[in-house]
């Protein structure tokens, strides 16, 4: 492994030269096996790797992340997929390994945002996982290793330009990290705080019920938030993030954004959506865009006009009442927040998307108001005392 790797350019094409290197002159923990990853690719890759590596350690399950612009579009651990999820994730024709299931979940939760993702996988990549990746629009992948057949599949993607990166699973970043901004060097201790079972024991609501699956989902949310640009919140269901609200300046906007994504994830399972009459040969990205338009209330006449090119028959959109009735069936959702809720508005919005279990650090002057709102909905909420900002 070299100590330095030259890149085509930095964040933008006009930022040259660019490279990644080890300040102490040691070897990089990564090896490029295919393609030529860029600056943003490696920012995504390193953050995503740390996320899945921690998920694997915390849950003892294979983990996957789909990253875009240094935040996860999706993250998940391996859990069985029912036939509906297999269909909306476009893997109903494939045999799935546990690792492939984790990636199908990570990619499938928000397919619009995962378009052109950089992937991280916690385990050695097997052939079933590589076959999913081969047919999706993606920029690259980082993993601790690759089975020979999987590597050949991935190296053939994008005519050999697909970025395939191997990382040393034993690599541990230095305890102190630095970055330069406008010629000024910032230094801090690396955020090496791990999630612990005790983080969810300070239950502040009247409800003290926290099932094992909710405990797992709160851990998924905790680790996902640790590598999501702040402010951020994360909705989790069945071991996968179903809505990530990242980089917003207000907490309630994070919740609204993530809640909208969670709602879209669940609405995609509506029988009407499952049976939309797509024309044969319609590609997956076109289907994703059409489904997003079909489920929006503000779809434009121009967008509707384009449906004749995609659908055999023009479908009738679901009414507000039909969508609300379906969304009322979404229950048992877990929600994590990287900092405290300053107002109860976030709790009210979370309830509309089936949230039952919450963690946040606590510490707001309005904690009592927030707890009272959670009690009104019968939610279980833990104060962790741990802030999870990431910048």
Catalytic residue list: 68-69, 231, 391
Quote the CA–CA distance of 76 and 356 in Å, as a whole number. Answer: 19
Question: Is the distance from CB of 200 to CB of 384 less than 8 angstroms?
Answer: yes
3-state secondary structure of 80: coil
- Would you state the torsion angle of the CA atoms of residues 318, 322, 324, 326, taken in this order, to the nearest 10 degrees? -100
| Cross-strand bridge partners of residue 165 | 32, 142
Question: Is the distance from CB of 114 to CB of 74 less than 8 angstroms?
Answer: yes
Question: Is the distance from CB of 22 to CB of 3 less than 8 angstroms?
Answer: yes
DSSP string, 15-63: S-SEEEE-TTSPPPSEEEEES---HHHHHHHHHHHHHHHHHHHHHSS-E
Quote the CA–CA distance of 10 and 86 in Å, as a whole number. Answer: 38
Quote the CA–CA distance of 89 and 287 in Å, as a whole number. Answer: 11
- Which residue, among 106, 104, 151, 105, has the nearest Cα to 124 in the 3D structure? 151
Question: Beta-carbon neighbour count of residue 32 at 10 Å?
Answer: 17
List, in sequence order, the alpha helices (H) in 227-283: 251-267, 271-274
The Cα diameter of the chain in Å comes to 63
């Amino acid at each position: 492994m070299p100590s330095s790797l030259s890149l085509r350019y930095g964040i933008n094409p006009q930022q040259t030269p660019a490279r990644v290197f080890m300040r102490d002159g040691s070897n990089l923990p990564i090896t490029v096996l295919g393609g030529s990853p860029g600056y943003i690719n490696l920012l995504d890759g390193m953050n995503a790797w740390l996320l899945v590596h921690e998920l694997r350690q915390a849950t003892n399950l294979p983990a996957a992340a789909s990253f875009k612009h240094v935040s996860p579009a999706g993250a998940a651990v391996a859990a069985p997929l029912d036939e509906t999820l297999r269909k909306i994730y476009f893997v109903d024709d494939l045999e799935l390994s546990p690792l492939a299931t984790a990636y199908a979940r990570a990619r499938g939760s928000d397919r619009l945002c995962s378009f052109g993702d950089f992937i991280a996988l916690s385990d050695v990549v097997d052939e079933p996982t590589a076959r999913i990746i081969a047919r999706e629009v993606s920029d690259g992948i980082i993993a601790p290793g690759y089975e020979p057949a999987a590597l050949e599949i991935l190296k053939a993607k994008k005519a050999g330009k697909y970025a395939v990166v191997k990382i040393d699973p034993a690599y541990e970043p230095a305890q102190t990290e630095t970055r330069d901004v406008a010629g000024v060097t910032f230094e801090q201790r690396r955020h090496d705080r791990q999630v612990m079972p005790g983080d969810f024991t300070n239950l502040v609501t009247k409800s003290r019920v926290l099932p094992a699956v909710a405990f797992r989902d709160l851990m998924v949310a905790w680790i996902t938030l640790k590598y999501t640009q702040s402010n951020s919140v994360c909705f989790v269901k069945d071991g996968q993030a179903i809505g990530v609200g990242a980089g917003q300046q207000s907490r309630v906007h994070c919740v609204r954004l993530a809640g909208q994504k969670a709602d879209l994830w669940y609405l995609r399972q509506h029988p009407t959506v499952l049976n939309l009459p797509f024309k044969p040969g319609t590609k997956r990205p076109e289907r994703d865009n059409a489904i997003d338009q079909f489920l929006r209330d503000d779809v434009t006449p121009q967008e509707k006009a384009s449906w004749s090119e995609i659908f055999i028959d023009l479908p009738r959109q679901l009414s507000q009442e039909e969508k609300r009735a379906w969304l009322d069936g979404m229950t048992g959702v877990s929600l994590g927040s990287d900092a405290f809720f300053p107002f109860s508005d976030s709790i009210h919005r979370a309830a509309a998307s089936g949230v039952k279990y919450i963690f946040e650090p606590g510490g707001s002057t309005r904690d009592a108001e927030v707890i009272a709102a959670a009690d009104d909905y019968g939610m279980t909420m833990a104060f962790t005392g741990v802030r999870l900002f990431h910048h």
